[in-house]
Amino acid sequence: MENKIDWISLLLYALILVFGWLNIYAACYDESHAAVFDFSTKHGKQIIWIGISLLFALGITLISPKVFSQGAYLIYFAMLGLLVVTLFVASVTKGGQSWIDFGSFKLQPSEFAKFATALALAKYMSAPDIDYRQNRTKLLSWTIILIPAVLILLQHDTGSALVFAGFIFPLYREGLSPKILVIGLVAIVLFVVALLVNRFIIVGALLLCGLFYLFVWLNKRTRKHYIWVTVALLACSLYTFSVDFAFQNILQPHQRDRIYVLLGKTTDTKGTGYNVYQSKIAIGSGSVFGKGFLNGTITKADFVPEQETDFIFCTVGEEWGFFGSVAVIALYVMLLLRLVTLAERQYSRFSRFYGYSVVSILFIHVFINVGMVLGLLPVIGIPLPFFSYGGSSLMAFTILLFIFLRQDQERTKPI
Amino acid sequence: MVYCTYNKPAIFLEQRNTHCQNHKRAVSRNQFQERSMVIRIIIVAVAIIFVIRLAFLQLFDNTYRKLADQQALRTVTQFPARGLIYDRNGKLLVYNEAVYDLMVIPKMTKHLDTNLFCKTLGISLDDFNARMEKACKYSSYSPSIFMKQVSKEEYGAWQSHLYKFHGFYVQKRTLRIYDRPIAAHVLGYVGEVDQADIDNDRYYHQGDYIGKSGLEKSYETVLRGIKGKKVMHVDVHNREIGPYKNGSMDTMAVEGGNLYTTIDADLQEYAEELMANKRGCIVAIEPSTGEVLTLASAPTYDPNLLVGRIRGENYMMLQRDISKPLFNRALQAQYPPGSIFKVAQAMTALDLGVITPSTGFPCDKSLVGCHNHPSARNVQEAIKMSCNPYFYFTYRRIIQQNKYKNIYRDSPYGLTVWHDYMQRFGFGTRLPIDLPNVKSGNIPDTNYYNRWYGAGKWAFSTIYSNSIGQGEVEVVPLQMANLACIVANRGYYITPHLVRFYGPDSTRNDEFYTRHETGIPAKYFEIAANGMYDVVHTAGGTARRANIPDIDVCGKTGTAQNIGYDHSVFISFAPKDNPKIAVAVYVENAPGGGGYWAAPIASLIIEKYIRGHVTRTDLEKYYHDAAPCQKLPLTRISKKKKK
């Protein structure tokens, strides 16, 4: 018996695609190039990309999902090879070296590395004898994640590399200790606080917290408690003191500036903070109902750089207002929640793991992109899935999604 | 732990079960199902944070909206053309000429043939480079003025090559053009607003133009029109993209209203020609309507000098000129009136009843001097011969009315009565003419003398010089012409004014139609008119030179003493019955008396106006060329520099 493809996900995908294209059209809109099918413009090119992506989607639904489960490692290593090749032949675009030039168009292999890694990790994690509690499993699974991440980092594409952190979610779903989420959260909080507050005050506060936990919170104290609290305090203090060093020596200057701007330590609306400042103006000026389609004064006048790619959400905020922005966020939330539901109904561990990978890759993109545009996160250049202008990302996200939808369609058949 | 929660065909269930049995931990494979909820919560929580943030940006904070408008919208002002000014016969006095501000966007200039560019504009390469540098300094992307107010001719030559000059374009502006170089003091001039103007009226912004003097100033709100605005959408480089909201926020400029003045351009020109080489002024009024026909102040200047790029330089030149060409003598010079003042004294005394039309006084020259003439036997003869002792006695009767025994109380009483009469003649008050900066002259009252001498310390003997228009009395030439109007009208005047109506609705000012009565019976003015007729026409009259064949001119001469040579004064109207024109002529430092200088000039004006041409060409030529006084350098500012 043949199941139908999940039409809810398909509908949400189509809605996001159409609304995204409308906003690219508005962002590039120019009276002299108003024609929809003008392929010299970005909105015209995006139509081509959408067409190609839909062809890919159709292709995926026609072939057996087994192609991807069986060929997962093959695809993974092929992508790794492509990433290595990219390192050598890449043309430098916007400070990154992640593009391979094919004459008339450019390809960004890092976009495709995401679904390849998801497939490989899913394949590895669904092996019958895998137990995530074994150290060997942990090591290998993180190796699968980190190899492409490091290769992408070498291409100076920090944003795409950061996306690989999203694999924490499927791993967590399959048994990764929740402690790692808590530790990650504490690390981020401490990092931010360490940049803002004197380090000795932080250590003092940590000490107080530890004492409170030991002598007020706990009723019974064992030796084990004392040891763990001491270790945790020492680790946190060491981390706090090393933040400054890491911040100054590991991060690049523009990344430092972006973080400082976000934390309000520098207010530079002309230089580093320009993007976010203009983005906030564009969104803020949209008010409740927005200025109307094609009527955005800030986005139409090129005030926001990268507004059709990474800052596309500005156009939504300005022209469609609060309601439009909330609608876009709602579309993504619905799609993500739907995909979680789909992942949960898979019979095979492979499909479930892959489903969660799709959810987390999309989620990380939306989270970082919208957070950046709204001025909640530092500026990290990654696209809004299905929405931003760009062929590679659109094709890669479509392939990512449709491989999963295809698996869902055939969930009752053995992989 | 439940392994299969979904309805599945049994065959697969079976298959799955065998699969499970083969592996030890098969049952625990889906053991973290509850963690899906944690992931769902994280997704929803992030979405909620975003929505809250959006609400703060878009709903609760409107500063972003303002910032957006500030940087993406530019309001371009549409300047309306200033109203035109016509004379009483419909001749155009002032109009606008299009000039062009040459604009440049430095970033857009390329492959410029600088040699050709400089040649067509007539500037040197150094000048070009300096201007270009200034423009670049302001902004590379937005337009700035390369050259101000390029004339039509220069623009024409340059325009034919415009297609070669990328990055340059022109912005149209208007300049005032004066068809004839006349009436500079009446028309006034237009200049850039200063800070005080901007503070006073929010209509103005830096760089706007405003009427600075004359009619341009007093009718500024009519002439300026209403500025329009165009809201343009600009991009990040400050380049205009197009109209904002398809121009729905724009307003059209409303053109300035026209002024239809009472000035007779031909007469004005003639008066200015006659006053060449002299200092003084001519004021001519139509008595029945109060319409000012001519208001000439000499020396004058070509109003075209104060227009455009040359304005600043010329203004400095005129201001430094020792003969004060910028000073409007007709309204601002406060002169002693001299003997013309006697007409008002005679009317006052007759109305008070202190003399009768047939009262005579001996010309005894005891306290005030006089020329040689027989004693006046009545008022008419006194006016004709301008007898100083006669009006000394008359003034004594006005001031000393014997209401009080004590002369120090009697004189103030008489002075108060007299002061009231003088005000009814328009003296000592600011005549509400529609030009700015009119002086009131001075008619002393009791307070004035009390301040000078102290209360109770002055009497008639202190102030008798007033009787013959000397002493503390000061009169503005406009008021002198107005006195002629009062006699011509036999007892009233209408506010002198320069504009009949203005604007698209032909608005009229009611003030200019009200009669100001002196309250003195017309029969007494008939005596004055007769006396003034005799001045010109009978033997012993002081202004025989003002006689025009076929026209009954009535006049009164004055010779005003002052530091330096006497001023020559003459007021007149004609014809005697149903007068058409009243003229006051004041020539500064012109020895020979009122009859020698002012009277013939006034008669030439009258003849020119009534007859349309002058028959007495010898007289015309003589007074045209004559210069009464060489003490001060006289400059007739001519059109030597234009633009």
Residue B91 has pLDDT above 60, yes or no: yes
Q: Mean pLDDT lowest for which of A27-31, A277-281, B295-299, B620-624?
A: A27-31
* Mean of pLDDT values over B100-128: 83
* pLDDT above 70 for A42: yes
Q: Quote the percentage of chain A above a pLDDT of 70.
A: 94
Chain B contact probe: residue of A137, A276, A298 with most B CBs at under 10 A: A298
Residue B103 β-bridge partners:
B145, B169
CB count in 10 Å sphere of residue B624: 16
Contacts of A340 in chain B (CB under 8 A): 36, 39-40, 43
Residues B424 and B401: their CA atoms lie apart, in Å, by 20
- Name, in order, each residue with C-beta under 8 angstroms of B137's C-beta and a sequence gap of 6 or more: none
- To the nearest whole Å, the CA of A34 is away from the closest chain B CA by 14
Kindly tell me if the per-residue pLDDT of B105 is higher than 90.
Answer: no
Q: Does the pLDDT at position B18 exceed 70?
A: no
* Minimum distance, in Å, between the CA of residue B27 and any CA atom of chain A: 12
| pLDDT of the residue at A95 | 58
Per-residue pLDDT for B309 more than 70? Answer: yes
Return the pLDDT at A133.
78
**Looking at the predicted structure, is the pLDDT value of residue A334 above 90?**
yes
Using alpha carbons only, give the angle A124, A130, A135 rounded to the nearest 5 degrees: 95
Instruction: State residue A97's pLDDT score.
Output: 65
> Residue B518 — very low, low, confident or very high, per pLDDT cuts 50/70/90?
very high
Q: How far apart are CA B357 and CA B361, in angstroms?
A: 12
- What's the average model confidence in pLDDT over B566-570? 92
Percent of chain B with pLDDT over 90: 50
A281 shares contact with chain B (CB less than 8 Å): yes
Q: Is A3 on the interface with B (CB under 8 A)?
A: no
Q: What is the pLDDT of residue A415?
A: 61
Higher pLDDT, A332 or B136: A332
Phi/psi for B584 (5° steps) reads -120, 130
Q: Which of B25, B50, B235 sits opposite A374 (nearest CB)?
A: B50
Both tokens of residue A251?
């991060």
Q: How far is A305 from chain B (nearest CA, A)?
A: 10
Which whole number is the average pLDDT over A157-172?
Answer: 89
Instruction: Please check the confidence at residue A201 and state whether its pLDDT lies above 50.
Output: yes
Q: What is the pLDDT of residues B366-384, one digit of tens each?
A: 888 888 888 899 999 999 9
Q: What is the DSSP string of B334-390?
A: -B--GGGHHHHHHHHHHHHTSS-TT--B----SSS---S-PPB-SHHHHHHHT-HHH
User: Is B628 within 8 Å of B597 (Cβ atoms)?
Assistant: yes
Average pLDDT over residues A352-361: 94
Domain boundaries, chain B: 74-261, 265-625
Selection from A97-111, A273-287, A305-319, B512-526 with the highest mean pLDDT: B512-526
Annotate A192-222 with b (16+ C-beta within 10 A) or e (fewer): eebeeeeeeebbeebeeebeeeeeeeeeeee
Confidence of residue A94 (pLDDT cuts 50, 70, 90): low
Q: Where are the alpha helices (DSSP H) in B113-170?
A: 114-121, 125-138, 152-159
- Asked whether the predicted pLDDT for residue B525 surpasses 90, the reply is yes
pLDDT at A138: 87
Structure confidence at residue B369 (pLDDT): 85
**Which of residues B61 and B638 earns the better pLDDT score?**
B61
Residues of B in contact with A359 (CB under 8 A): 39, 43
Q: Mean pLDDT over all residues of chain A?
A: 86
Q: Tell me which chain B residues have a C-beta less than 8 angstroms from the C-beta of A329.
A: 47, 50-51, 54
Question: Are B15 and A172 in contact (CB < 8 Å)?
Answer: no
Decide if pLDDT at B643 tops 60.
no
Please check the confidence at residue B388 and state whether its pLDDT lies above 50: yes
Q: Give the pLDDT confidence score for residue B2 in this predicted structure.
A: 41
Task: Give the pLDDT mean for B509-528.
Answer: 92
A364-387 tens-digit pLDDT:
999 999 999 998 888 888 899 999
B481-486 average pLDDT score: 95
pLDDT of B636 reads 46
- CATH of segment(s) B265-625: 3.40.710.10
The residue ranges of every structural domain in chain A are: 7-172+261-409, 184-250
Distances (CA, A) of A221 to A205, A209, A225, B262, B568: 21, 16, 6, 109, 121
Q: At what angle do helices A391-409 and A109-125 cross, to 10 degrees?
A: 30
Q: With 70 as the cut, is the pLDDT of residue B160 above it?
A: yes
Query: Is pLDDT above 50 for B23?
Result: no
Mean model confidence pLDDT for chain B: 86
The residues facing B175 across adjacent strands are B97
- H or E segment at B93? strand B92-104
Most confident of the following: A278-292, B28-42, B241-255? A278-292
Q: Is the pLDDT of residue B5 over 70?
A: no
Q: Using one digit for the tens of pLDDT, what is the confidence trace for B451-470?
A: 999 988 999 999 999 999 99
Around Cβ A187, how many Cβ atoms within 10 Å? 13
CA distances in angstroms from A57 to A10, A51, A82, A115, listed in the order given: 11, 10, 22, 14
For the ranges A49-58, B58-67, B560-569, the lowest mean pLDDT is seen at B58-67
Q: What is the mean pLDDT of residues A307-326?
A: 91
The residue to which tokens 């050598």 are assigned: A88
Residue of B30 and B259 predicted with greater confidence: B259
Average pLDDT score over residue span B416-434: 94
Rounded distance, CA B413 to CA B418, Å?
9
Per-residue pLDDT, B476 = 95
Q: What is the mean pLDDT of residues A165-170?
A: 90
Is A56 touching B (CB cutoff 8 A)?
no
What is the spatial distance between Cα B571 and Cα B574, in angstroms, rounded to a whole number? 11
What mean pLDDT comes out for the span B400-425? Answer: 92
**Beta carbons of B233 and A300 less than 8 Å apart:** yes
Alpha-carbon torsion (B197, B203, B206, B211), positive or negative: negative
**B-chain residues within 8 Å CB-CB of A374?**
50, 53-54, 57
| pLDDT tens column, A247-267 | 877 777 777 777 777 777 666
Q: Which of A358-367, B292-301, B364-373 has the lowest mean pLDDT?
A: B364-373
Dihedral of alpha carbons A361, A363, A364, A368, sign: positive
Distance (Å, whole) CA A127 – CA A105: 39
Range with the poorest average pLDDT among A146-150, A189-193, A203-207, B47-51? A189-193
CB of A99 closer than 8 Å to CB of A152: no
Chain B residues whose beta carbon lies within 8 Å of the beta carbon of residue A301: 72, 233-236, 241
Peptide bond into B299 cis (omega under 30): yes
Mean pLDDT for A281-303 is: 83
Maximum average pLDDT range among A194-208, B197-211, B527-541? B527-541
Burial of residue B19 (number of CB atoms within 10 Å: 0-12, 13-18, 19+): middle
Of residues A325, A330, A347, nearest to B16 (C-beta): A347
Is any Cβ of chain B less than 8 angstroms from the Cβ of A179? Answer: no
Per-residue model confidence (pLDDT) at position B238: 65
**Rounded CA separation B8/A408 (Å):** 14
Residue B3 reports pLDDT greater than 60: no
> Residue B355: pLDDT above 60?
yes
Q: Mean per-residue pLDDT for A189-204?
A: 82
pLDDT of residue B192 exceeding 90, the answer is: no
Comparing CB atoms, the residue among B68, B233, B244 nearest residue A281 is B68
pLDDT for the residue B637: 45
Nearest to B356 by CA among B387, B386, B377, B385: B377
pLDDT at A33: 66
β-pair partners for B584: B283, B571
Can you tell me the mean pLDDT for B172-186?
87
Q: In whole angstroms, what is the distance from residue B464 CA to residue A124 CA? A: 127
| DSSP H helical ranges for B139-203 | 152-159, 184-187, 195-200
Q: In CATH, which superfamily holds the domain spanning B74-261? A: Penicillin-binding protein 2a (Domain 2) (3.90.1310.10)
